[in-house]
């Protein structure tokens, strides 16, 4: 048996941990630069607030409603979800994190345990220790566990844990589950299936294997079909580690100068390197992209992308930032108003398999960079994210009339909450 543990409305739930007064009230969380809505409480969903709605439309479409708004606070979300994972580690024999708010658990060694009761107790423990509500789906494979998780979230009668353990439950669940929501079926294939009058997961699972192979020349789709029919065929190692990591954001306003773009790219590259180290991986290549605002038809348009291979796979902040800045310098064109940029580190493997090459850094330099990253990570963990950064990561102050220095190109987060678990200045003070 497998389980998937999912934090309910993750970003909203993280904000509510230190704001219990917001329970049962509409809450939304905005994307980077406070652009659009990326997370909603159940109360906000019932009001008709949709994911992706631009923030400026919120007051226009819902005037007079008391809706609490937060800017994205990934430092807080990462800290609280890490606490959830630490509790999962205590209770499950084997686990692997799938995303910031989802974690798969392998329950094969718990055959003598009442898994439904285990799931309900897990929900209560996480709620009591961390303050985060979770839902758990348990089934013979990962795809069916994802289906079960949907019902655990949607229906209170399951007490936050849905267990699909026989054929009757499997068939009933698939008949109620929309095919577009099945894990492994993207929007393109969902549209194709609906055009064939296949609307539910059961409609798809009922097809013959020959039909699936003939209509979908895709190993992932066929594997999904097999899992919906009860087989266990998605390998853990395939989803336990990311094959690539991307950090990208739209800017607060538009950027024209290369120096400002370098600062953004340096920050994105440093974040990717930090993520690699956290999961014990290294990357063999990096890529950078830039683009203008496609909605500004009055401005000239430009976008470009460049990949640079790394002689030695690495997770060094200095090495990755240096490569990404070099790529940016080659694709940058003056005279454009850039709205978005990003960094992708690719071809990731375990850091245990690193081998230096003749044309790259020697072993002594490699060891020095590794020690430096270890020290930086420790300082930033103790004192708060980005306490120590590279010089290229620092935004240039812009002075406005009658105002103090403003980091004009930094990320906008007007409604950002404090970080009481990671920053001393935000620690909770009791009256």
Residue-wise pLDDT for 69-108, tens only, equals: 999 888 899 889 989 999 998 888 888 888 888 999 998 8
Instruction: Provide Rg for the chain, Cα atoms.
Output: 24
How do beta strands 134-139 and 2-7 pair? Answer: antiparallel
* Residue 406's pLDDT band (cuts 50, 70, 90): very low
The per-residue pLDDT for 410 is 60
End-to-end Cα separation, the chain, in angstroms: 48
Residue-wise pLDDT for 134-150, tens only, equals: 999 999 999 999 999 99
Residue-wise pLDDT for 180-207, tens only, equals: 999 888 888 899 999 999 999 999 999 9
Closest listed residue to residue 269, CA positions, set 335, 217, 342, 354: 342
Residue-wise pLDDT for 239-294, tens only, equals: 655 567 888 888 878 899 999 999 999 999 999 999 888 888 888 889 999 999 88
Residue-wise pLDDT for 326-361, tens only, equals: 999 999 999 999 999 999 998 787 776 555 554 555
Q: Any idea where the domains of the chain sit in the sequence? A: 99-236, 243-394
What's the pTM? Answer: 0.71
**Residues 6 or more apart in contact with residue 248 via CB below 8 angstroms:** 268, 289, 340, 341, 342, 343
In 8-82, which ranges are E strands? Answer: 27-30, 37-40, 68-70
The structure tokens 């392998």 sit at 106
Say if residues 103 and 97 touch (Cβ distance below 8 Å). Answer: yes
Q: Provide the 8-state DSSP code for 137.
A: E
| Average pLDDT value over all residues in the chain | 86
The per-residue pLDDT for 405 is 41
Separation CA 398–CA 372 (nearest Å): 31
Q: Provide the residue count of the chain.
A: 431
Separation CA 36–CA 56 (nearest Å): 8
Closest listed residue to residue 130, CA positions, set 10, 4, 279, 28: 10
Q: What would the DSSP string read from start to end of 163-188?
A: E--SHHHHHHHHHHSBGGGSTT--HH
Separation CA 332–CA 310 (nearest Å): 21
Phi, psi of 406 (to 5 degrees): -125, 135
**Residues 6 or more apart in contact with residue 420 via CB below 8 angstroms:** 18, 426, 427, 428
Q: Max alpha carbon distance in the chain (Å)?
A: 72
Residue-wise pLDDT for 199-242, tens only, equals: 999 999 999 999 999 998 888 899 999 999 999 988 776 665 55
Residue-wise pLDDT for 420-431, tens only, equals: 888 888 888 887
CA distances from 149 to 7, 141, 143, 198 (A): 10, 12, 10, 22
Does domain 243-394 fall under CATH 3.30.70.2740? My reply is no
What architecture does CATH give domain 99-236?
Orthogonal Bundle (1.10)
């Amino acid at each position: 048996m497998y389980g998937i543990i999912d934090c309910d409305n993750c970003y909203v739930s993280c904000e509510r941990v230190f704001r219990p007064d917001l329970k049962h009230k509409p809450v939304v969380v905005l994307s980077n630069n406070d652009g659009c809505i990326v997370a909603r409480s159940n109360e906000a969903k019932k009001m008709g607030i949709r994911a992706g709605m631009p923030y400026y439309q919120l007051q226009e479409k819902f005037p007079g409603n008391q809706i609490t708004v937060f800017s994205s606070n990934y430092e807080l979300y990462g800290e609280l979800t890490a606490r959830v994972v630490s509790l999962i580690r205590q209770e499950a024999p084997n686990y692997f994190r799938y995303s910031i708010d989802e974690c798969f658990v392998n329950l094969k060694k718990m055959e003598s345990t009442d898994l439904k009761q285990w799931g309900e107790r897990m929900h209560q423990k996480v709620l009591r220790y961390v303050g985060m509500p979770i839902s758990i789906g348990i089934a013979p494979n990962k795809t069916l566990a994802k289906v079960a998780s949907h019902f655990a979230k949607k229906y209170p009668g399951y007490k936050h844990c849905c267990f699909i353990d026989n054929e009757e439950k499997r068939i009933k669940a698939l008949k109620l589950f929309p095919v577009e929501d099945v894990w492994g079926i993207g929007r393109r294939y969902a549209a194709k299936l609906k055009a064939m009058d296949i609307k539910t997961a059961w409609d798809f699972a009922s097809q013959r294997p020959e039909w699936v192979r003939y209509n979908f020349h895709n190993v992932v789709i066929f594997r999904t079909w097999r899992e919906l029919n009860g087989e266990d065929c998605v390998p853990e190692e395939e989803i336990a580690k990311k094959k690539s990591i991307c950090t990208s954001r739209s800017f607060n306003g538009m950027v024209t100068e290369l120096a400002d773009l370098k600062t953004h790219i340096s920050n994105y590259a440093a974040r990717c390197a930090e993520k690699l180290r956290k999961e014990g991986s290294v990357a063999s290549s990096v890529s950078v992209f830039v683009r203008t605002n496609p909605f500004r038809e009055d401005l000239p348009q430009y976008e470009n992308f460049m990949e640079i291979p790394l002689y030695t796979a690495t997770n060094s902040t200095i090495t990755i930032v240096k490569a990404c800045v070099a790529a940016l310098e080659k694709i940058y064109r003056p005279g454009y108003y850039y709205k978005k940029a990003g960094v992708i580190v690719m071809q990731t493997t375990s850091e245990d398999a690193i081998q230096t090459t003749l044309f790259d850094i020697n072993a002594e330099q490699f060891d020095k960079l590794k020690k430096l990253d270890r020290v930086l990570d420790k300082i930033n963990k103790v004192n708060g994210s980005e306490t120590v950064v590279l010089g290229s990561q620092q935004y240039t102050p812009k002075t406005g009339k009658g105002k103090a220095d403003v980091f004009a190109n930094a990320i906008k987060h007007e409604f950002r909450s404090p970080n009481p678990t990671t920053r001393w200045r935000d620690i909770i003070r009791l009256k």
